[in-house]
Amino acid sequence: MDTRIRSAYNLPMNSIERAKLINKAAGLGLKYEKQYRGCAQCTLAAVMDTLDISDPMIFRAGSGLASGGGLLCTGACGGYTGGTMIMSALFGRRRENFDNDRDYKYTSFRITRDLNDKFIEEYNTAVCGEIHEKIFGRTYNLLSDQDKTDFEKDGAHDDKCTEVVSKAAAWTVEVILNEMEKRDLELKDLKMLMAGG
């Protein structure tokens, strides 16, 4: 069925449309991490571009979260934090209702756990350095020139971190689509949510 007809009659997104969006996010995540680097921002950009939403300040805020935060590899994976940022931007607690926004606050907790579950299932962790241990067989100190060289030589931006970002972007879109379905939302409604609605 044509998506314009589906939208006009407020019909739910079908599985083919969902799969296309999830696959698009995966492809963009891979492309952006390979081309630009910075796992949190690449995840954010892939999800935003897939869902046709944008917020330059949220994108900018993801900058320092690369490689577990500050290139330290000790914090949460940037793909995970980028995904959490955009999901919370859509479904998180709003400042204007800071003292009484329980539904949105707990929605953001729940959907973050959904994303975390996907990381645990795939990597048994959502921590950057522990993911490195799983996919590279070692950890890196990205503040060390030698480790940074080894990181790239070992395929960080060929097929390792690019794949993590690809999965993170796809999983994030999947979680967002699931929440949209629960709330009977359409893609066009995401722009209103990004504006604080």
89-98 pLDDT, tens digit per residue, is 999 999 898 9
pLDDT at 5: 39
pTM for the complete prediction? 0.93
Residue 187 in 3-state DSSP?
coil
* CB 85 within 8 Å of CB 40: yes
Residue in the structure block whose two tokens are 């390979």: 34
3-state secondary structure of 157: helix
Residues of the chain where predicted confidence (pLDDT) is lower than 50: 1-2, 4-11
Nearby residues of 177 by Cβ (< 8 Å), 6 or more positions away:
13, 18, 21, 22
- Give the Å distances, CA to CA, from 116 to 57, 69, 188: 24, 17, 26
**Confidence (pLDDT) at 45:** 98
The predicted structure's pLDDT at residue 12 = 57
What is the reported pLDDT for 196?
A: 77
Q: What are the tens digits of pLDDT across the range 119-156?
A: 999 999 999 999 999 999 999 999 999 999 999 999 99
In this predicted structure, what is the pLDDT of residue 6? 45
C-alpha pair distances (Å), 49 with each of 25, 107, 186, 195: 8, 23, 16, 16
Q: What is the pLDDT of residue 172?
A: 98
